[in-house]
Structure 1
Amino acid sequence: MTVELGRYGVWGPAAQWVGRGEDAAELEALGFGALWLGGSPDGSVMTTVSALLDATEKITVATGIMNVWTTPAAEVNEGYRALAWTDRFLVGIGAGHRETVGEVYHSPYQKLVHYLDELDVPRDRLALAALGPRVLRLAAARTSVAHPYLVTPEYTARARETVGAGVLLAPEQHVVLEEDASRARELGRKALEFYLGLPNYTQNWLRHGFGEEDLVGGGSDRLVDALVAWGPVERVARRLREHHQAGADHVAVQVVGATDAQQALREIAAAIQD
């Protein structure tokens, strides 16, 4: 049985979930179906996964993602076995970036294939970070969830065509609850700054209609507006629904630039009730 994610989840850096059991329980009560522990660097994140599972009753907890270069498959297998008592744990893996792992990064597609071969985790408890069509197809063939990051609804539509109907499509969406355009784009650019230095992302944006001119100066207004849903909560909710209309099964919401992300999520939860 494929893992239950619900229509919407919450994405946040793994370190930010430490000690947030009460917040996790509130997000569950608000109707979010999954918590994504972003940038999960290695198997040590399992301690946080376990704590969040203990603090909640029905929400799924996902690593998004454990890096195949820095986390041995045996370590993931051990962590999964320790949490095999629950069907609410989703093991998300991905190849990461040469810029963050160094010279070890080579033939990432083959690395993913070999890593999946080494994993002793059921397919219905596996997610794969995927951007390009080849890895999207791998996600559809070997896992239950394809998890693209920093993408647009237009990308989601093309990704659905690529993966077909046999896999859950769970894109991540950056969100800024700010109505002033200048301030919203300033916060958006700050959130995108790191990713503009990672070719895996920039090449994906170029594949999907952006130009080199969109990648300079912190990102063009066009790029920021496409990748970061900003404005009043009703406009942000509309963007989240657009992913579903494009073929997403689940959207992982990442609030950026907020002084109180939990409050922002309360507002978003109220706005996305169908």
Structure 2
Amino acid sequence: MTKPNLGTYGVFGHYSMWQRLSPQQLQEIEALGYGAIWAGGSPAADLSWVESLLEPTTHVKVATGIVNIWTAEPGPVAESFHRIEKAYPGRFLLGIGVGHPEAHASYQKPYRALTDYLDQLDEHGVAPERRVVAALGPRVLRLSAQRAAGAHPYLTTPEHTAQARELIGPDALLAPEHKVVLTTDAENARAVGRKALDIYLNLTNYLNSWKRLGFTDEDVARPGSDRLVDAVVAHGTVEDVASRLKQHLDAGADHVPVQVLTGPDKLVGVLTELAGPLGLK
């Protein structure tokens, strides 16, 4: 299976944020050398906003991070995939995942539900190499390499990236997201990071993932220890942040979606500052 070519770094943001950016801003992000736009959240199956990101750009990819299998039926998602693929061949990557048990009353046997969903994507002609799976634990990481192009871990560390690469082998895509606050004020950066992390500190899949990485109950208890926040939210100078992001590549990542914790009005400015140290310019 051929890995999707997403470039070395991408940009992650909620799908609603991407709709607030102008065509010019999207073009600027593409021109900076970021290879993919990752749209987080749990968008509806029609994915009606994807074309608005692809139309003003020429080669940047768009990936979902993620379509939630509990809220978006595979048939309509596949129809959306084929619609987008017909208009913009090769530029859309379908990311799917199981979400959180706390958020869905019907959340039962998530691994079986995920494999069933992948089976239905197969039936609807969405090729494995055109999809990725949100994966944290070993079982789903292995599945991502067997049934998709690879894995899109979220809120992890370079240590997790190294472990994931061992599990999925050299041929699967590994695209771990990492958060960024571009400031040398550590306390301010941690405050911003804690605000972004707060919801995840009550979600068992993330808590379990962090504990597998060696974080303690005290680390992952609200509001999150400095150790945890510093591990999953890069901050400092542009060189400090770039160095942290590059650690994922050194650990085996193919591509790192960068989530800048700022508003859309400041996003392009931060990405511009980072582009040089990341080797994109």
Q: Answer whether TM exceeds 0.5 for this pair.
A: yes
Measure the CA separation in 2 of the matches of 1:78 and 1:10.
25
Q: Which of 239, 250, 253 in structure 2 is aligned with 1:248? A: 253
- 1:257: how far off? 4.0
- Does 2:204 align with 1:202? no
- 1:182: how far off? 1.0
Measure the CA separation in 2 of the matches of 1:152 and 1:19.
29
Equivalent pair of 1:188/1:257 in contact (CA under 8 Å): no
Pairwise CA RMSD: 1.2
Runs of 4+ in structure 1 displaced over 6 angstroms? Answer: none
Other-structure match for 1:262: 268
Q: Which of 137, 142, 151 in structure 2 is aligned with 1:146? A: 151
Q: Which moved more, 1:176-185 or 1:13-22?
A: 13-22
Q: Deviations over 1:174-223 (max 9, x none)?
A: 00001011111111111110111111101100011000010124100100
Measure the CA separation in 1 of the matches of 2:25 and 2:34.
12
Name the TM-score, length of structure 2 as normaliser. Answer: 0.94
- 1:41: how far off? 2.4
SS of the equivalent of 2:76 reads: helix
Measure the CA separation in 1 of the matches of 2:17 and 2:211.
31
- 1:2: how far off? 3.2
- 1:269: how far off? 1.2
Q: How many residues align?
A: 272
- Does 2:78 align with 1:77? yes
The gaps in structure 2 that reach 5 residues or longer are: none
Q: Which of 267, 271, 274 in structure 1 is aligned with 2:277? A: 271
Equivalent pair of 1:8/1:34 in contact (CA under 8 Å): yes
Q: Deviations over 1:140-185 (max 9, x none)?
A: 0011131000000011000100100121100000000010111111
Q: Which moved more, 1:176-185 or 1:35-44?
A: 35-44
Q: Which of 35, 49, 55 in structure 1 is aligned with 2:37? A: 35
Other-structure match for 1:135: 140
- 1:19: how far off? 4.5
Measure the CA separation in 2 of the matches of 1:16 and 1:270.
24
Equivalent pair of 2:28/2:268 in contact (CA under 8 Å): no
Measure the CA separation in 2 of the matches of 1:111 and 1:133.
17
Other-structure match for 2:126: 121
The gaps in structure 1 that reach 5 residues or longer are: none
Matches within 5 A, 1:1-274: 1-20=2-21, 21-44=23-46, 46-85=47-86, 86-101=89-104, 103-119=105-121, 120-257=125-262, 260-273=266-279
Q: Deviations over 1:20-56 (max 9, x none)?
A: 2322211110000000010132213x22111111111
Matched residue type, 1:267:
E
Measure the CA separation in 2 of the matches of 1:122 and 1:171.
22
Measure the CA separation in 1 of the matches of 2:49 and 2:26.
11
